[in-house]
Structure 1
Amino acid sequence: MRGRRRPVGGPWRRAVVSAGLVGLLLGSAACGGGGDDGDGDGDGGTEVGAVNDVSDRGDPVDGGEITVGLEAETSSWLPGEGTFNQPGINVAYAIYDPLMHRTADGDVEPYLAESMEPNADLTEWTLTLRPGVTFHDGTPLNAQALKTIFDEYLTAPGANTAASVDEVTSLDVVDDLTVVYRLVEANAAFPVLLISSPGWPFSPTAAAAAGEDAGANPVGTGPFRFVSWQRDSQLVVEKNEDYWQEGLPHLDRITFRPMPDEDTRLASLQSGDIDVMQSLRQSTVIRARDLDGIDNYEHLGSNSGGGTVNTSKPPFDDVRVRKALAHALNQEAIIEVLGGKGVTPPTTQFFSEDSPYYSEKVADSYPAYDPDKAQKFYDDYVNDPERSDGLPVGTDLSFTYSCPPDPSLNEVAQLVQSLYGALGAQVELEQVEQATWIQKMLARDYDTGCTRVGADSDPYIVFNAAFTEGPLNMTAFQSPEIDEQLDILRTTTDIDERKAAVEEIGLVINENVPNTFSGGTLTVMAAQDQVKNLDGWVFPDGTRGNGAASAQVMWGHAWLAG
């Protein structure tokens, strides 16, 4: 029996202001239950936005194993070393527990942590751990473990977490279960950071013993223990019999398989070769809606398809070139190529229309598709004797557009090549495996290419990472105006002041176009209907979590029906 099929409300459909400071740290949606008769007649394929089509859960069942098909491999499983996007986070949430996580209402609350409280001026955050939690190697999760992780791994030279935690002057031990994060300056959004990899405790004892191989042998506190990893083939985890949450996990074993090809992943789900499929491609999400015996946990938030431009190198250091490229892009055509026509809307900024941070003023400022304007900006640069690339006047631009080797992205790249070619640009297309592409962007070793933009997170976290000095600023774009607004976001919890600051940042971004936008990223975790509760996880105190937002699952709460 299936519930009623229904569109899913966006990540901000809730009270904007809730009691307490942490309630203001806004985030992702809850993805509820619901569905229709599930007869596979194809009627659901064209419904606008995210739709949950989920069979009745029934009661939890212990035992069994599942295989999960993910869209890409991850470079390493050690926080500070691995680059964790949606596929990697799915694996991480099996092996690690986040100190903090999001509720169904978007609030940020303790998960592995027992409590987290700020001082009066938001410059110190005191975190208390739950008693009796151990890592998979039997060593205790205590305050000293957190300090060792912070001092020796998260802030180590070359750690990809160093920039995001550089505001922390020290992590000090108060007692066996309590630490204090001391910040350089006030930060109202600090707890949000501990949802991501800086907040995933791992055994420092095991990491030290493994040395350079620590990233291939992860040891966390999570519901599943690491068993084995064959890079680009599969990663296997098994039930943590000593898990700190009584009654969890339900499953005995999970195999995660990176499957970059969308058609192969979908066909594997349909044939039963895999039990769960992750996708962030509109066309795949829509096709999955029409499969018999499949539950679809969809989400459409503030993450958008788009483009990234390396502003640190000519000719992209000149805003005329960036505006030319932006005005040359036909958003509707790109969305159609991706299979999202009539389902996913064009985007113009980092936050979706149902977010309190969405701005019509920013939307109106986005450099929309206009071939004539694009040509004018292009010609102004190409015919400028002082052009930044030093080439002779009239020389057409020549550059590389990079994308992962997904068939739909290949089509997008070819469309972009055609649109840019119409200006006179000579565009070489490059296919790069996703993990390598991320590393190239982090190193700013690229010209321009496809990416995802935006996140269902606090705006200070989003913009501070993207547009200040640090490795996550992949476009290399910085602005004093953005810095000024970041100071406001960092120091106030007043929602109107924060909305105004986000609007100003959005206007600066659209004026300088370090990123372009196409359409919202519709995501899905599609599962055989005997796999249950992918979106029903709860906090230890019973508070409902944020579901399968952004195609990320808390696997310890899932089960396999008998």
Structure 2
Amino acid sequence: MKNTKLPSAKSAFKRHLPAALAIALSTLAFGVQSQTLRIGLAEDPDVLDPSMARTFVGRIVFASLCDKLVDIDEKLGIVPQLALSWVWSPDNKILIMKLRPGVTFHDGEKFDAAAVKFNIERHKTLPGSNRRGELLPVSSVDVLDDLTVRLNMSQPFAPLLSVLADRAGMMVSPKAAKENPGSFGTKPVCSGPFKFNERVAQDKIVLDRFPNYWNKSAIHFDKIIFQPVVDSTVRLANLRAGQLDLIERVAPSDIPQIKNDKRLSVARITELGYQGLTINTGKSEEAKKNAMGRDPRVREAFELSLDRAGITQVAMDGEASPGNQWLAPNNSFYAKSVPIPKRNIARAKALLKEAGVVNPVVNLMTPTTSDGQRVAQVVQAMAKEAGFDVKIQSTEFATSLNLADKGQFDVYMLAWSGRVDPDGNLFSFYGCNQPLNYSGYCKPEIDALLSQSRSVREPAERAKLFEKIAIQTNKDRPVIYLYHRNWLWAYNNKLTGVRAIPDGLMRVQGLAFK
């Protein structure tokens, strides 16, 4: 039998060294960039098209997917994103923006002034666009050169920059939008730090890192997976088990146990928006069938049956501020002449008697989120003392929005995440025939005030106009505002770079694992 000489350990090591080094270097590189960030959402977003979308959780996804012309910072200042600088004309009817060079969309198409023109026009004209009202005063867009665009307005438009800091300022690939006009929202193509990979309804949205992102040095994850987990208790359990790295809208009652867990941290900031009860006063024929929709006295009685401070304590564990307007009482635009009314059961009963209504039935459509359910139950118990029979209709969030659109509801518990400028909490909800006017409220005098508030840039003058709107809408009550939440994010301590910004969105730029 012939002896076969085995190679020495030394020679084998030399022969395999290049491959071993390559694998080691590859592993090290992936250790820095090939990591997945898993984010737990309270709901499944609606369509992922900036023109059509309207959910808060959708905005959280968009923060990773679609860059905007401008953004906001922790102090609500407008800061550059796709636009580097901007200047207003002396009459405040023209805004000229200088754009960031070297930006590409996820499909490789170039971002330029022509793309901005396309997007603004798409926001304004796409059937079903929810950005139409936000950009109503923008009459036309001109391309001055590849990196300079001019927005022309029919009248001065004070909220414009704040509008462009949200979905109306998000830029999608013109090529992709034209090629897939009916299904763009199922496979969105933007220019943000992450690009769309896949979506499984009610299960996950997967985004992959975009290697050509203009600010790629600030991105430290290879993939983001958004997972809708409606139950806040389950969401937190997944975080504690390491199945999620970051969760939004933590249940206030869970804050103590999170603080006692050394592995977790909480980010907290008061929202720009509100939690309120939108009443069908004219959205459909159903408004006439329900006493709440027909008679403002019944709506007043319902409001007087509620103790806002009690709601925030019982349902929100104090992680909210009572309010009765579209912005919080500490906001400079809050109308102090319209204070929060105190609970008055006797007066509520008297109003119902005056209206000739006995034990009115109120069908309250409520999203299936944990906080929505808690608030609905407290409202139900409080209103019962005044004689209201509140029936809670728990409805999946996207479905509830569709029903609200069609006017198939009596009262809708709707939370609005809010905007930097008060106009973003007002115009689309109170303007006649505006996209988010779920109540169907329409008054020419309110439309006129809303238009004026957009054209005046002086804060003191705008505050006077907002006060007039508050006085009238408080009498009509198409919306009964309840409180302003604290945005509560919980996350694993290994995650660094978390920023608390009042719009409640999580910026992925700078986020990294230790």
Which TM-score band (shorter chain)?
A: 0.7 to 0.9
Amino acid at match of 1:83: R
Contact 1:240/1:249 (8 A) holds in 2: no
Which one of 334, 340, 344 corresponds to residue 370 of structure 1?
344
Determine the C-alpha separation between the residues in 2 that align with 1:475 and 1:534: 37
* Per-residue Cα deviation, 1:509-560 (whole angstroms, up to 9, x for no partner): 322222223332111221101111021xxxxxxxxxxx43343111132111
Q: Does 1:332 align with 2:309?
A: yes
Determine the C-alpha separation between the residues in 2 that align with 1:105 and 1:300: 12
Q: SS of the residue aligned with 1:362?
A: coil
Larger Rg: 2
The 1:199/1:61 distance shift into structure 2, 3 A limit, reads same
Which of the pair has the greater relative contact order for Cα pairs under 8 Å at 6+ separation?
1
Residue number in structure 1 paired with 2:72: 102
Residue number in structure 1 paired with 2:53: 82
Q: SS of the residue aligned with 1:208?
A: helix
Residue number in structure 2 paired with 1:186: 156
The 1:180/1:443 distance shift into structure 2, 3 A limit, reads farther
Amino acid at match of 1:267: A
Higher alpha-carbon deviation: 485-494 or 302-311 = 485-494
Residue number in structure 2 paired with 1:449: 412
Deviation of residue 370 (structure 1)? 0.8
Q: SS of the residue aligned with 1:345?
A: strand
Superposition map of 1:308-387 within 5 A: 308-312=278-282, 313-314=287-288, 315=291, 316-341=293-318, 343-363=319-339, 366-381=340-355, 383=356
Determine the C-alpha separation between the residues in 1 that align with 2:45 and 2:258: 24
Deviation of residue 306 (structure 1)? 2.4
Determine the C-alpha separation between the residues in 2 that align with 1:509 and 1:250: 47
The 1:380/1:499 distance shift into structure 2, 3 A limit, reads same
Amino acid at match of 1:441: A
Q: SS of the residue aligned with 1:556?
A: coil
- Which structure features the higher share of helix residues? 2
| TM-score, with length taken from structure 1 | 0.80
Contact 2:321/2:328 (8 A) holds in 1: no
Determine the C-alpha separation between the residues in 1 that align with 2:416 and 2:186: 29
Residue number in structure 2 paired with 1:505: 469
Deviation of residue 286 (structure 1)? 5.2
| 5+ residue gaps, structure 1 | 1-59, 384-393, 536-546
Determine the C-alpha separation between the residues in 2 that align with 1:98 and 1:454: 18
The 1:345/1:193 distance shift into structure 2, 3 A limit, reads closer
Residue number in structure 2 paired with 1:273: 243
Which one of 197, 212, 220 corresponds to residue 182 of structure 2?
212
Q: Does 1:560 align with 2:513?
A: yes
Residue number in structure 2 paired with 1:437: 400
Deviation of residue 161 (structure 1)? 1.8
Determine the C-alpha separation between the residues in 2 that align with 1:202 and 1:76: 14
Q: SS of the residue aligned with 1:264?
A: helix
Q: SS of the residue aligned with 1:321?
A: helix
Determine the C-alpha separation between the residues in 2 that align with 1:506 and 1:229: 41
Q: Does 1:68 align with 2:39?
A: yes
The 1:409/1:424 distance shift into structure 2, 3 A limit, reads same
Which one of 528, 531, 540 corresponds to residue 495 of structure 2?
531
| 5+ residue gaps, structure 2 | 1-30
Q: SS of the residue aligned with 1:132?
A: coil
| TM-score, with length taken from structure 2 | 0.87
Amino acid at match of 2:43: A
Which one of 112, 126, 131 corresponds to residue 156 of structure 1?
126
Deviation of residue 103 (structure 1)? 2.8
Deviation of residue 327 (structure 1)? 0.7
Deviation of residue 458 (structure 1)? 0.9
Determine the C-alpha separation between the residues in 2 that align with 1:156 and 1:237: 25
* Per-residue Cα deviation, 1:138-172 (whole angstroms, up to 9, x for no partner): 00011222222333454222222222222222222
The share of aligned pairs that are identical, in percent, is: 25
Give the number of equivalent residue pairs. Answer: 476
Determine the C-alpha separation between the residues in 1 that align with 2:243 and 2:126: 41
